[in-house]
Structure formats: structure tokens, C-alpha cells
Amino acid sequence: MAAMSQHDLIIVGAGSGGYACALRAAELGLRPVLVEEDLVGGTCLHRGCIPTKAVLHAAEIADAARDSTRFGVHATLERVDLGEVRNYADSVVGRLHKGLTGLIKSRSIEVVRGRGALETGPDAVEGQPTRPPMRRVRVGEQILQAPYVVLATGSSPRSLPGLEIDGTRVLTSDHALRLTELPTSAIVLGGGVIGVEFASAWRSFGVEVTVVEALPRLVPNEEPEISQALQRAFRRRGIKTLIGKPMESVRVDESVTVSVSGGTEVSADILLVAVGRAPDRTVRVDERLQTEIEGVYAVGDLVPGLQLAHRGFAHGIFVAEEIASLRDGTPSPTPVLDQSIPRVTYSDPEIAAVGLGEAAARERYGDIETFTYELAGNGRSQILGTQGFVKVVRRANGPVLGIHLIGARVGELVGEAQLITNWEAYPQEVAGLIHAHPTQSEALGEAHLALAGKPLHVHG
């Protein structure tokens, strides 16, 4: 006999989008229930952002040891033990998971363990005098009922036709994070975010890496100059690239051989397939993240667009506030726009961006202006020994529309970059702000000083 349970909203999936929605909903006095078939925290915490960045931090330490003599410090890199790197990453994940579990408990949020399915048949909706009508989610034998449902089931790795992921030689990022021994060589299929982050970490650990990318450049969603700078940096680091070469076939025996268009073949111990992630269903949402079914919302990777944890957080918070406002008549929240969301790729060098790229800005506004400030002129970047630049895109005589960065640690600059673009600051306003010396944030200051017509450390 199915049990009935009454809540204000049922959230299916407790990843970044789902748990953020639950936390905010509870804060607003709603009674959410979270349905999760695995661990709260989802992809980002267990198989994504956190473990990969822990591995990339270990990679940075390996590089620091290897390159130490450049700074007059004679350290030697004896070996990298991937099992121990994994233990370190697991310990970080474990602490954060414990913290999150405690947070969910402290807000008295019920968590139902199991696979949730929204009932969409005719008897799923009970005739109710109020709107929206009650919705039902089945979890095994249990039926949960609430006027609002939030779908937050995320995405999983895509594969390609004819490509069998065996978890041993042909891996997704999930498998790659569970490796305990380093391969001698690896092919990374896909030069997007996951591809370049793994390529970067593995190279730092001494692996021979080849990245195969179908489009004409790495990180094709970034500015073309950023792709070029990354390609140059990868070349210097000994990472091989086959760019503009879609994979044609894969042969697996005692190694993996990938054939790309034009007949080139490359072999390695393992192949990481990083050709994007897809949700397990297609949902269409309006600007307020409501699906075609009244009272049913979707958040996070399930919603077409950027697949980022902080977008999931923002979606989750938005939907909780939206539901509270529909229920209580409180002010409705502002929709989340992908254009306002900062993105960071944690490869070496790092890439960070927010707002419009040059081409998109030109298409939208016609007359635009750009300025690129090289990190060669930035003291802190010179101390770190990094190359790169800050590119600012502004509307002609207007506000800043986008900021794009590459270089060591530039991810930390994206906070200021997003304040500038999201507050639609003018270069002269940013130029009036004093940046501490010597910091990399000065590069942002310098770019805006130049755009405001008063360049400081700029040659020519």
C-alpha cells in the first residue's frame, strides 16, 4: 500500500540545484522534501568540481616541485602516487559531504532515499480548488504529494555512436577520477572544459597526453585568442593536440587507438571521453524555470545552457523564492541569466570569463570596443612566472559587456570581473577604483584605465 506524504515541494535530485533549492525553501518557511537515489551533493561534490579541483591542486604542487629550481629552490619530484592523490581528494569530498548533510539536517529537511519519478498520467493530478493542483512523485512504493515539484536530476557523460565506454581503457570523467595508477599515456577526446582540465592534471603528473578536438580550437566556447593562448601553453607543456579532427573510430586491444578525420591515428593506454554531458530527459522551461506542466520546475544541468554548479545553486534559490512568492505574495525573484554567470576552467593556465565575447557583443550592439592587457605588465604575474592576458569588451562609449582572462590563478579575478559586467560599470568607473599592488587584480584595473583613456603600465 503506497504511503502518502504532504509537503510544499518535492525536489527530485539533491545535487547543486536540488539541495540549494531545499535549503532556501526551508529558510523561507516552506516544507521541502529531497529525493535522492545516491549521495546528497550530486555530481559537483562527488564526481565533478570538488574532486577534480583537488586533483588539479595536487598537479600544481607537482609542477611547483618540478619547476622549483627556476625560483632558486632545489626540490625534487620523486613520484606521484595517484592512489594517495585520490585519498586526499576523497578526504576533501568527505568533509564537505559531512558538512552538507549536517546543514540539510539542521534545517529539518526530509531526505527520501530512492529514485523519484514524476507521475504525469491523468490520475497524477487530483482535482483541487486551488492552483497549482497537487503533483505526485513516486519513489519505489512511496508516493509523495505536493503542489510544487522541482526536477533537479542533472546530467551524465555523453558518449558517441560506436564508442563503448568499458571503464578500463575507455573512460568517462567518473572512471578517470577513480584511477589509482597513472597511465603512461592518455588520449583525451574533447578539448572542452573537462578535457583540458584532465589533460592539464595528467600532464603535470608526467603522463603523455594527446587532446583530440573536433572543432578548430580548444575550449571553443571561449574567445579565439584564449584558445590560441591555451594551445600555445599546452604545446610548451608537452601536451599534444589534434585540433579540427573529429574522431572517426576507436580500436581497443592492449592499448586504445583513435583514428581521426584525415587518417591520422594515435594510440595510448587509456582514452578519456569528454564530449559533453546530457540530461536523461529533455525539459523545456520558461524564463521562470517552469516546465510545460504548471507547478513543475527544472533547475541545474537539466535546463539547457551552461552546465555549472553555481548556475544550479542560483536556479535552486530562484525557484524556492518563486514558489514562496506564489504562495505568500512576497516579491518575485529576478530570473537567472546565463550571460551573467562567471565561468572558470581550472587548467594550467586557468581561464575565466563573464559576459559577452567580442563576436556576440558585436552582433548584439554593433559598435563595440575591446582592450587586451598582457600579464607581462603585471608584477604579481611576473613573480608567479605566468603569461596571459585580460580582454575587456565594452559597448562603444558604453558599459563593459564582457571580461575574458587567461593565466595562472585568474579564476580568482572573476569575482571582480562579474561585478563590473553585472553592474554594467563604465571603464572610467572601474578606473577610479584602486587595486592593491602587487596583485593580479591590478591587470583588471590597468585594462580599465586604458579603456578610460589613461593607460599606466602599457607599452606603445
Ligand X SMILES: Cc1cc2nc3c(=O)[nH]c(=O)nc-3n(C[C@H](O)[C@H](O)[C@H](O)COP(=O)(O)OP(=O)(O)OC[C@H]3O[C@@H](n4cnc5c(N)ncnc54)[C@H](O)[C@@H]3O)c2cc1C
Ligand Y SMILES: NC(=O)c1ccc[n+]([C@@H]2O[C@H](COP(=O)([O-])OP(=O)(O)OC[C@H]3O[C@@H](n4cnc5c(N)ncnc54)[C@H](O)[C@@H]3O)[C@@H](O)[C@H]2O)c1
Q: In angstroms, give the least distance from the CB of 359 to ligand X.
A: 24
Q: In angstroms, give the least distance from the CB of 219 to ligand X.
A: 14
13 or 427, CB closer to ligand X?
A: 13
Is residue 32 involved in binding ligand X (CB under 6 A)? no
Does residue 196 have a known ligand-binding role? Answer: yes
Is residue 115 involved in binding ligand X (CB under 6 A)? yes
| Whole-number Å distance between alpha carbons of 356 and 259 | 35
Quick check: 316 and 19 in contact, CB under 8 A?
yes
Is 251 buried (19+), middle (13-18) or exposed (0-12) by CB count in 10 A? exposed
Helices (runs of H) and strands (runs of E) counted in the chain: 13, 24
Is residue 196 involved in binding ligand X (CB under 6 A)? no
Q: In angstroms, give the least distance from the CB of 118 to ligand X.
A: 9
> Cis before residue 220, ω within 30 degrees of 0?
no
Is residue 110 involved in binding ligand X (CB under 6 A)? no
Quick check: 58 and 91 in contact, CB under 8 A?
no
List residues binding ligand Y (CB under 6 A): 160, 189-195, 197, 212-215, 220, 246-247, 274-277, 307-308, 343-346
276 binds, among ligand X, ligand Y, none (CB under 5 to 8 A by kind): ligand Y
Is residue 369 involved in binding ligand X (CB under 6 A)? no
Sole binder of ligand X in the list 9, 30, 35, 80 (CB under 6 A): 35
Known catalytic residue at 310: no
DSSP label of 228: H
Sole binder of ligand X in the list 9, 10, 14, 23 (CB under 6 A): 14
271 or 319, CB closer to ligand Y?
A: 271
212 binds, among ligand Y, ligand X, none (CB under 5 to 8 A by kind): ligand Y
Q: In angstroms, give the least distance from the CB of 261 to ligand Y.
A: 9
Does residue 366 have a known ligand-binding role? Answer: no
Tell me the β-bridge partners of 240. 210
| Whole-number Å distance between alpha carbons of 200 and 237 | 9
Query: Cα 90 vs. chain centroid, distance in angstroms?
Result: 19
Among 437, 448, 457, 459, the active-site one is 437
- Helix, coil or strand: residue 353: strand
Does residue 301 have a known ligand-binding role? Answer: yes
| Whole-number Å distance between alpha carbons of 171 and 181 | 14
Quick check: 345 and 197 in contact, CB under 8 A?
yes
Task: Give the annotated binding-site residues for NAD(+).
Answer: 190-197, 213, 276
What is the set of active-site residues?
437
